[in-house]
Structures are given as structure tokens and as C-alpha cells.
Amino acid sequence: MKRIFSLFASALLAISAWAVELQVSYEYVDLGLSVKWATCNLGATSSTDAGWYLAWGETSPKTNYTWATYLSDLDGTMTSWEDAGTEKDPLKEYVYGGANYSKGIGGTAYDAATAALGAGYRMPTQKEFEELANTDNCEWVWCDEDNTEFNGVAGYKVTSKKTGYTGNSIFIPAAGCRYGEGLDLEGSYGIYWSSTLDSGDASGAYYLDFGSDYVSPDYYDYRCNGFPVRPVYAAPIAQITIGEETTKYYSVENFREKFYYIDEKAYVKLLGDITLSDFDFENEYAGADITLDLNGHSITGNNDDGLIIDISEGALTITGEGTIENTAEYGVAILSAGTLTVKGGTYKSALAACGVAKGAELIIDGGQFDSEALYYTSAYFTKPIVKGGIFSMDPSDCVAEGYAAVPNDDEATKADYPYKVVEKPLTPTAIDAVNADKAGKALKTLKNGRVVIIRDNKKFDLSGREL
């Protein structure tokens, strides 16, 4: 729903021979999408105002948009697109081929929306523009210069089609762009920066482009050009702690990229619910030792190709209350090709709750499992090891030694989860054997070196469980 950012950004920004003070109370609108959209452009005072024209990675407007003036405040010395990504480029670490390319500038000091409005406010990603431009999500209605609703300013009225949000809309003016010192295409076209770099060229970044008869998030142009920015707002969805450093993540894309590259001990805590589109959370590093605390939140996806959480070589432990769900017909919720331990959470999927690659390990020591089958079966997969948890299906064939699947007697959960796994209770015979063994008379060492208790022609381990 519409909400006011109760935030007054007061940033005195030097612009060539003058200064502009940004002091605007922004509003945002919830269209039922992954982020909330500001009702006006960055630097604007109303929804029909063009606001600031900004070069990509710059945080204040100027009068001339060329390679020679690009990033001059950061001591940039570029003179053409060929200098992008070289030592002359202050953002070389963020562009294609740079160390921070996968992270992007979203939410950093080079994000104009973040710099002006603070954490949580940022430039939209290309995927977020794709989501906005998707006509299944929103209706785009062109308003020409004769319209009265927006005072004769041409642009698009974008209205949500999402259930519960259908009355919510934003207006995006056809504000044009600035090349060099000129203003072009105003009133005919809208060109808005995303925070996403061109995937094959250090000189370019993606933008939303529209005219009266089309809308496309798939164009890219030189970073030095001046385009408007329409901010988005998203509360942090997760934080990652490595050593003494904790970093919060405000977009799924940035969080997913960081999760993928973890190669050491890390504590990951969800701060909000996450909805995935066509990808999963994967880590492929053998050095990874990750604890994922669901913290009462959910990760939901629709991935027929497989899974939601995938640990490939390292170790992952999932704790806390929360839900991991794959709504796809042939998907699974979690997959282990390394070492995955489940201590909490709810796991849902139509096909199977989990998958375990041969040679890998998945230990279930808690949590709730709701699917047609507990685990995925094929020539390349094996069973999980179950030591605890409650289940909608019978997990007996996966129960670890010393444990048993029994009826769930908890009134609150037994209707949905009729099975639970518990440690086997000590039998009277075993208790007697342990108590009678004070002098070690019933002990026997097997050929494999294991010490057992022998009583009434039965074998027990030293804790009294029958073997």
C-alpha cells in the first residue's frame, strides 16, 4: 500500500557553479511486487517532475554528460568508452570483469538513490524493471500531452494487477535524457537507469526504455549519459556475518551472489521473506561452513529444474523456525551434494522435500517435512539420515541407527504430520544389561573392535540400545 517514507533527505550537492539541496518527503507505492516503487523520480518534487538526470554511478546532477566529465569527482580520467574498466575508471571493480561485478552498485555509495535517501532506498535492478514491465503484473497505459490526470505531462500510468493491490499505481514521466549538454526526447520517451551493468561490456549499463507504443527493460547504453532514476524501497532481507563483520542485503540478487561465494565460516540470518523466480540459492565452495537461521521467515520458489537451497561441496546447517518451499510440480526444497544438516524449519514441495547426491550427506535432526515423498530417488541420489523431526510421510526407511519412526502424538501437529522420529527408548532387557555390567562381566569385543553388551543372546551398545 502507499506509504510515506518519513524521511527528509537533506544533502547539499555541488553542481558545477551552483548547489542544489534535496529536501523532499518521498512516498512509495506497494504494487505487490518484490520491491516498493517511489511515486516520483529522484530529485523531483512531484510525480510529473523529471527530477535529476544522472550519469550511472554518479550521485549528483551536472550540466555536461560526456566521458570526459564522467566520475570526475572520483578522479576519473576517461576520455572514451574504451577507457571503461581500465585504471582510468574509478568504478572498474564494479563493471564487467571487475572483482565486484557480481555485486553491482545497488545500495552502495555509488547508488544515487541510496546516497540521497539512505539504506533501503536504491536504484532498481534490471530484473525489478522486468518485473514492473511484465504485463501479467502491471497494466501500462500511455498518457499523452493532452491528458488532464497528470497535467499534460506525457508518460505511463502503471497500475498493479496483483490481487490485493489493484488500486495502486505510479506515474512515470517521459522525461527523456541528457547527452552532452542537451536535453533530448523529453515528452516522447522515458529512459531510466537500473543498477545492473551490461553483462558483456564495461562501458554500459541497463535501463528501462519506453515510448508511446513499447516498454522494454532490455536496453543498455554508455554509463556517462544522463538518465533519470526512479528509486525503489526494500527492507533488508538478510544479513551475513563473517568474522566480526556483518553485512545486510536489500536485494535477492545481491544476497544470492554473496551466498554463492562464501568459502569460510559464516552465519546467515534471514530478515524478511524471499520469493525466487528462476534460480536457487547455491554454494559450491568446499571451504564453506554456513549456518542459515530462517528466523521466522520463508524462502519460496517455483523451480521445476530442481531446488531452492543447494549446498554442493561445503557444509550447511539450517536452524530456526521458517519455511523453505518449492511450488513447482517436479521440484525439491533442499539438495545436498556436500554436508547439509537440518535442525529446524518447514520444508514443502510437491515432489520431494529433499535430495541427497550419492557421496553426500543430509542429516535431518529436526524440522517439519510436507511433501509426497521425503527424498528424491534416482541412480545418482541416495537417502537422508533421519534423527528427528515430524513428517507428513513415513520416514522409516531413512531412520538412523538407534532411532525410530513413531506416531506423532502432538495434538497441534499430528493431523498434518502423523509421523515423528525419536531416539529408541531403552528396553527393560537393555537396562538390566547395563545395570548388571558394573564388573564388566557381560562385555564382549567384536572382531571389528566394537565393544558390546551380551545378555539373553542379544547384543546392545554401551548406551543400552539393542543392535
pLDDT digits (tens, 9 = 90+) for 35-61: 999 999 999 999 999 999 999 999 999
Same domain, 419 and 435: no
Same domain, 221 and 291: no
Same domain, 181 and 287: no
Last residue of a domain, one of 233, 249, 274: 233
pLDDT digits (tens, 9 = 90+) for 192-204: 999 998 888 899 9
Q: Compare 334 and 209 and report the one with higher pLDDT.
A: 209
Q: Compare 331 and 59 and report the one with higher pLDDT.
A: 59
Same domain, 222 and 285: no
Burial of 226 (0-12, 13-18, 19+ CB in 10 A): buried
291 domain-assigned: yes
Same domain, 141 and 60: yes
221 domain-assigned: yes
Supply the pLDDT for residue 195: 93
228 domain-assigned: yes
Q: DSSP E strands: which ranges in 39-126?
A: 121-122
pLDDT digits (tens, 9 = 90+) for 404-461: 999 999 999 999 999 999 998 755 555 555 555 544 446 555 555 555 666 667 777 6
Distance CA 232, CA 121 (A): 6
Supply the pLDDT for residue 98: 83
84 domain-assigned: yes
418 domain-assigned: yes
Average confidence (pLDDT) over 214-224: 95
Supply the pLDDT for residue 275: 84
Whether the per-residue pLDDT at 297 is higher than 90: the answer is: yes
Same domain, 170 and 247: no
Distance CA 153, CA 370 (A): 53
Same domain, 243 and 219: no
Last residue of a domain, one of 215, 233, 251: 233
Supply the pLDDT for residue 280: 77
Same domain, 186 and 321: no
Question: Which range among 7-11, 137-141, 281-285, 399-403 has the greatest average pLDDT?
Answer: 137-141
Give me the number of domains the chain comprises: 3
Structural domain containing residue 299: 238-423
- Longest Cα separation, the chain: 101
Distance CA 247, CA 241 (A): 7
Same domain, 159 and 263: no
What H or E segment, with its residue span, contains residue 386?
A: strand 385-391
Same domain, 228 and 302: no
- In percent, the amount of the chain with pLDDT more than 70 equals 85
467 domain-assigned: no
Half-sphere exposure of 253 (CA within 13 A, CB side): 17
Distance CA 229, CA 235 (A): 19
Last residue of a domain, one of 170, 204, 233: 233
Q: Compare 342 and 350 and report the one with higher pLDDT.
A: 342
Whether the per-residue pLDDT at 74 is higher than 50: the answer is: yes
Whether the per-residue pLDDT at 5 is higher than 60: the answer is: no
pLDDT digits (tens, 9 = 90+) for 128-144: 999 999 999 999 999 99
| Contact yes or no for 95/224 (Cβ under 8 A) | no
248 domain-assigned: yes
Same domain, 146 and 122: yes
Supply the pLDDT for residue 249: 87
- Rg (C-alpha) for the chain, rounded Å, is 29
Least confident of 50-59, 265-274, 326-335: 326-335
Same domain, 143 and 104: yes
466 domain-assigned: no
| Contact yes or no for 370/392 (Cβ under 8 A) | yes
CA 393 to chain centroid:
30
